[in-house]
Structure 1
């Protein structure tokens, strides 16, 4: 037995037929295959040529859609569900004598929940519920639809509506002939209550012996269905016990679950249990044991690339992976394992990037002589990850995990930079130190909840300092607000407070004037050059460059713009709306292009994505003087806005950067109305910088907020002039200091930061 699970709604259908005395009323191949969890065979039997789903009879179509859902093949699932819904809308919804009018929208809800698209899941669940109510479908359908409705509402933050769905579930009549669905109702209630953090109510919902009340599952759905439901049941019970403080009972229950033969097949549930066991050990004062559990939880997390959460609808809980890293880092720090804590700081940032890029498959494979081999390895990795998540009985999860591990190892050997985008990556302190120049120090911050640490690497040694995080977010917000108002007298006050909090405690560890700063979270939005020690700004004392992570330095080490040209400048693209015109940006693009020989400028309708793709690799520097739209909520769809043309809508998205080859020494984002003034978690900035790095840029100069046009033009022209005589970092520093003489407030000069190589 593999521990795989057959489709829950099929078990409900079978139960309903048994209750109604109609068990012999069906014998279709599709239903039998789905009931056996043989989803791959369902696809072989029913998948139409050229994906012409509408050509299938509804009965075959609904089983095919179910199979796609269980196989986590969302690319085919949604077109399949569209075709099924179209048939339902025309009155065609019977399969094996069963009314499946609510099934397409229910399957869609489940998929959207797994993908984390909760608002869309709510819409699909509301449609499913409307169909059930309007058509007065049976009690079994009512329970399952109210369950997904409550889950979708809860995950979307609509607590009042989730509570209402739970109350409807509680009020359902479940006497004869519906007794068998009573336990489904109770489990559904537990899921909703756990999402709402109403743990006492969740305990009440599952306060019975699962084996006695669910013995019918062994007959109807087989041991796989029984096993799946038992694991979910036991997890919800023990999770709720833990959250209400009954830790001794939760500990005993969790330990029993960890001994279960197939717990490793339930990845999300597995690491959540390990995480909670670590927290229990920590409460018991056993730091070393807590660390061991946290490390095991991280190991499970790092076996997965996908962010698909197949457990959300099964256990009513969405785990926070970064919370596991936080607890582990804090535990290691408390145990004085500072170097290991630093390693996990790097791994946590790598995990965040992997999650950000989890849905991307079309990375450009740079010239290695093994392009086809690398693409095959990427495909094998994706296939094995889909199999691990699927519920098909033919899949051996252990074998699929082994294939995925081998594929990741092959990537790390052949294309380490690409591997760092799809697998968790960290670099030893000694190796990171080798990337620093002899007179350079690295400062890496880590901030989460009640903990903030700084790690300083100088001359191969690591020092760690605990910082005060209390009120940090409010302080950063106040600083940013004052920075964006050139008339604000409060800027120096806030700059001084942040200096005292973030920098002064490190000064004894800093032996060099050249600094590499790796920020974290809200700290990404601080212009460190503008911090003030009471006498001078940091820009007067240090040469500061940024990195998205310390480990990323190894991928920049050999980057040297290969192009023979000077500057490729794109300015003031025609966005079809005069209100978006950037007259000064156009002048700026023209002026900077004059500074270097063999430069070229494209403005208005000529400033297109095609220009970037066609000519980007031929120039040392690429200068964008255009608007941007940067979204913390969907970082991969953040974009530079260029003129649309026949081949592009003009949106040069972050997602596209990972599929491009630019091979340029520097990318400058100037005059951009970037939207980066919205302080969030930093994913938008990290995704953008790593995207340009992967495309081949050695450095990026970007602005944290929209700066006055005249000041920007003055600073940019001086920057490129200085680069004729010195390195990029020194050129930017000199340009900022020079601009400050004319425009003293940090609003005008401190917004621009260099990330990447100094030279």
Structure 2
């Protein structure tokens, strides 16, 4: 009835109300609800214009800003900018003179947005937040609007505690004063949740306090946290409970009360892990929350190390590294992972828990204790049901993992904490040992990675020329020789588990024995090869996959038609297999892949362009034949279209993206090779200890091993490397009994071969494959054949070892077994 044409103002009012309902909606997907709210607010603004209906326009702008503040999808920084813009727009109508309360409310909201702002200078943002809160308090007085006054005082306290400008000691005093002021109104009896939140803020301020007696400040912080926990119970408000325990644990740790810190962090982690769907998720805002709570694990690892609980430390390291991955799998692939009836039951659990949590948080529970207990039981039932089907879970017991290791295998697992680099050394029989750096080593590592990435993205030639020198510096910073001294001499196979940005680096190429004359690297020390894994848990999972056969090939060959040497690469590789299905050039489409039964092949080889999406890792992709589009859409959907190279737009709906890879079934696959650029990169910008990239997608899809690249590789040298790698596999091992570690050995030997290849040996290699080279060259245009010959001439000018630079041989890694 209320259509835009017949009753535009009523229609706009209903759109606004609908948006508010979606923003507050409990059931359904939270991210989708907020998107619908934004769409409805935006629709309302087509009628509620500033000129025609200024007050309605301003109110809707404020509501739209609130929705952007809570938005999950899209870039978090951009969402906050849109919120700030909308609040600022609202303030052109919501003036102090005309609408003082609306003006004050918008000022308070603007302060929150500036406090959360990612773009711009952090110090300036906090100053703007303080200015906005202070402005709001000229209307929100204790006498006129006491609850709004107390709320803004609490927000102001947080801003002063985070303040960068001014004297730190004075800022914290102002934070304490503001919290104390708020608590004059917020009582436990009248406003228990607001009281508890302010107590928690007060505890954080006392923990950071510089003035006064340190011991007294610690006791005040402990008392305030303990008070907050009388309201923030695990049963009633588990997320706030975990947050407060985290702060209390830090207080105990700072006071060197390590046993109390251990117990407190243990309780916090137990609460976090009971809130899988409620706290940890692949959704943007929940991912940010997970990043924050990941600090609990980091702190716990540090406390375990200080208490010499080394086994517990590695277990908490592992638990931190799989939390988000599990949740992303659940969010994206629930219908694939779970049978229909189980998926339906999990949805029922989710909705019932959400409704109950809403009733508790909004004071609508008839019997708080009974409802809280019921929710706890529901969470336990849900988690038990999920764990029956999930390939990777929260629990990691080192005692059950250690016996699964080969007696000749050693693992180095790195973990970066607040001020140190830790390296855990794991073997089959020995107790876990841990090496730790000095604080200056961590600072040096951060400086090194900044320079490395800057050169890679902005000065590629300088990055390439200095790669060998850079790796020497990295080996020194990581003290790789000291770590290697803790590995038993009989271990001939090494598995590396990096952490955060270390995943981006060719650690297998680190130089060793700096004092020795010979130029050796980590790869040279282990005859059984050096491979990688995202975590021990994923390693444990792939160990269960027995895939001895290696006789059938599925391959994607040069979909873009511009990688001349991949044609040679795939044709040679194809000749090694008994059966092969090769999708060449224009035939290599997503439709063709979907029509191929990938579940029947032992090896999947992708020779194409790759792309890693740092904004949304799920949209990282292998670029296929029909992905490029002729005309760039007028309204570019950043979720769907991407520019891999200048002047070329690709449709991700026609690419093999990570979210599509997760849905693949590779139950017979022994190896996936991603012979493309940057296929081994992961999202290292977020700090959630997550490993999300193309390799993890194929590992979880079923392959025990994935070979991928860490940078934009050279087309010709990659072809040589891949040909030699597969040649090694087929010459050295039984193809009906390929064992764990065989792939790492074959790759190690191929990399050492390329690294030490002389001009004479290169000529011999080219002669061996002369027939196939000539076949490929015959398919090329004259200009392309000339380029090939010129490339060979340039290679032969790099005397005496044309591929000695790590750029040519060290870019590929083997993840898994």
TM-score computed with the length of structure 2 as normaliser? 0.74
Residue 83 of structure 1 corresponds to: 40
- The alpha-carbon distance between structure 1 residues 690 and 717, as it changes in their structure 2 partners (threshold 3 A), is same
Contact 1:274 1:294 in 2 (8 A): yes
Query: Secondary structure of 1:660's partner?
Result: coil
Q: 2:559 aligns with which of 558, 573, 576?
A: 573
Q: Deviations over 1:463-518 (max 9, x none)?
A: 21222151233345667869952576625733652574465454454531012222
Residue 21 of structure 1 corresponds to: none
Residue 629 of structure 1 corresponds to: 611
1:702 offset after TM fit, Å? Answer: 0.8
Query: Secondary structure of 2:336's partner?
Result: coil
2:305 paired with 1:337: no
Residue 348 of structure 1 corresponds to: 320
Residue 254 of structure 1 corresponds to: 225
Q: Which moved more, 1:176-185 or 1:286-295?
A: 176-185
Residue 416 of structure 2 corresponds to: 447
Residue 754 of structure 1 corresponds to: 814
2:608 paired with 1:651: no
- The alpha-carbon distance between structure 1 residues 103 and 152, as it changes in their structure 2 partners (threshold 3 A), is closer
Residue 22 of structure 2 corresponds to: 68
Q: Deviations over 1:507-555 (max 9, x none)?
A: 4545310122222123222323212223422222212121111111232
- The alpha-carbon distance between structure 1 residues 184 and 488, as it changes in their structure 2 partners (threshold 3 A), is closer
Q: Deviations over 1:32-81 (max 9, x none)?
A: xxxxxxxxxxxxxx9x9xxxx99985555544433433345331332234
Contact 2:311 2:398 in 1 (8 A): yes
2:542 paired with 1:546: no
- Give the whole-Å Cα distance in 1 for the aligned partners of 2:8 and 2:280: 29
- Give the whole-Å Cα distance in 1 for the aligned partners of 2:479 and 2:204: 41
2:147 paired with 1:183: no
Question: Any unmatched runs of 5+ in structure 1?
Answer: 1-45
1:153 offset after TM fit, Å? Answer: 2.3
Q: Deviations over 1:562-591 (max 9, x none)?
A: 9996221113323xxx9xx32223442333
1:389 offset after TM fit, Å? Answer: 5.8
1:728-743 matches, cutoff 5 A: 728-742=743-757, 743=803
- The alpha-carbon distance between structure 1 residues 493 and 587, as it changes in their structure 2 partners (threshold 3 A), is same
- Give the whole-Å Cα distance in 2 for the aligned partners of 1:97 and 1:497: 63
Contact 1:628 1:672 in 2 (8 A): yes
1:120 offset after TM fit, Å? Answer: 0.8
2:699 paired with 1:693: yes
Residue 243 of structure 2 corresponds to: 272
- Give the whole-Å Cα distance in 2 for the aligned partners of 1:193 and 1:487: 45
Residue 171 of structure 1 corresponds to: 135
- Give the whole-Å Cα distance in 2 for the aligned partners of 1:201 and 1:332: 35
Contact 2:160 2:174 in 1 (8 A): yes
Q: Over aligned residue pairs, what C-alpha RMSD do you find?
A: 4.0
Residue 588 of structure 1 corresponds to: 569
Residue 406 of structure 1 corresponds to: 381
1:247 offset after TM fit, Å? Answer: 2.3
- Give the whole-Å Cα distance in 2 for the aligned partners of 1:648 and 1:206: 50
Contact 2:108 2:132 in 1 (8 A): no
Query: Secondary structure of 1:631's partner?
Result: coil
Residue 621 of structure 2 corresponds to: 639
Residue 281 of structure 1 corresponds to: 252
Contact 2:425 2:432 in 1 (8 A): yes
- Give the whole-Å Cα distance in 2 for the aligned partners of 1:626 and 1:319: 33
Residue 601 of structure 1 corresponds to: 582
2:629 paired with 1:614: no
Residue 126 of structure 1 corresponds to: 85
- Give the whole-Å Cα distance in 1 for the aligned partners of 2:533 and 2:292: 25
Contact 1:585 1:671 in 2 (8 A): no
Q: 1:715 aligns with which of 708, 715, 721?
A: 721
1:248-397 matches, cutoff 5 A: 248-260=219-231, 262=233, 264-306=235-277, 320-354=292-326, 357=328, 360-363=331-334, 365=336, 371-383=339-351, 386-387=354-355, 390=358, 391=361, 396-397=371-372
Residue 499 of structure 2 corresponds to: 520
Q: Which moved more, 1:190-199 or 1:245-254?
A: 190-199
Q: Deviations over 1:94-144 (max 9, x none)?
A: 9x9998434431431342279982431331232133123235462222222
1:295 offset after TM fit, Å? Answer: 0.8
Question: Any unmatched runs of 5+ in structure 2?
Answer: 165-170, 211-216, 366-370, 457-461, 630-650, 734-741, 758-802
Query: Secondary structure of 1:697's partner?
Result: coil
Contact 1:154 1:162 in 2 (8 A): yes
Contact 1:125 1:145 in 2 (8 A): no
Q: 2:60 aligns with which of 101, 112, 137?
A: 101
- Give the whole-Å Cα distance in 2 for the aligned partners of 1:504 and 1:429: 20
- Give the whole-Å Cα distance in 1 for the aligned partners of 2:140 and 2:37: 36
Residue 147 of structure 1 corresponds to: 108
Contact 1:632 1:684 in 2 (8 A): no
1:648 offset after TM fit, Å? Answer: 6.2
Contact 1:194 1:317 in 2 (8 A): no
- Give the whole-Å Cα distance in 1 for the aligned partners of 2:16 and 2:603: 54
2:414 paired with 1:438: no
Count the aligned residue pairs: 682
Query: Secondary structure of 2:322's partner?
Result: helix
1:715 offset after TM fit, Å? Answer: 0.6
Contact 2:611 2:679 in 1 (8 A): yes
- The alpha-carbon distance between structure 1 residues 114 and 529, as it changes in their structure 2 partners (threshold 3 A), is closer
1:438 offset after TM fit, Å? Answer: 3.3
Q: Which moved more, 1:602-611 or 1:323-332?
A: 602-611
- Give the whole-Å Cα distance in 2 for the aligned partners of 1:408 and 1:501: 40
- Give the whole-Å Cα distance in 1 for the aligned partners of 2:205 and 2:249: 16
- The alpha-carbon distance between structure 1 residues 619 and 56, as it changes in their structure 2 partners (threshold 3 A), is farther
- The alpha-carbon distance between structure 1 residues 640 and 386, as it changes in their structure 2 partners (threshold 3 A), is farther
- The alpha-carbon distance between structure 1 residues 443 and 385, as it changes in their structure 2 partners (threshold 3 A), is farther
- Give the whole-Å Cα distance in 1 for the aligned partners of 2:155 and 2:73: 17
2:464 paired with 1:459: no
Contact 2:22 2:33 in 1 (8 A): yes
- The alpha-carbon distance between structure 1 residues 479 and 307, as it changes in their structure 2 partners (threshold 3 A), is farther
TM-score computed with the length of structure 1 as normaliser? 0.80
Contact 1:122 1:153 in 2 (8 A): no
- The alpha-carbon distance between structure 1 residues 457 and 261, as it changes in their structure 2 partners (threshold 3 A), is closer
1:317 offset after TM fit, Å? Answer: 10
Q: 1:112 aligns with which of 63, 71, 74?
A: 71
1:254 offset after TM fit, Å? Answer: 0.9
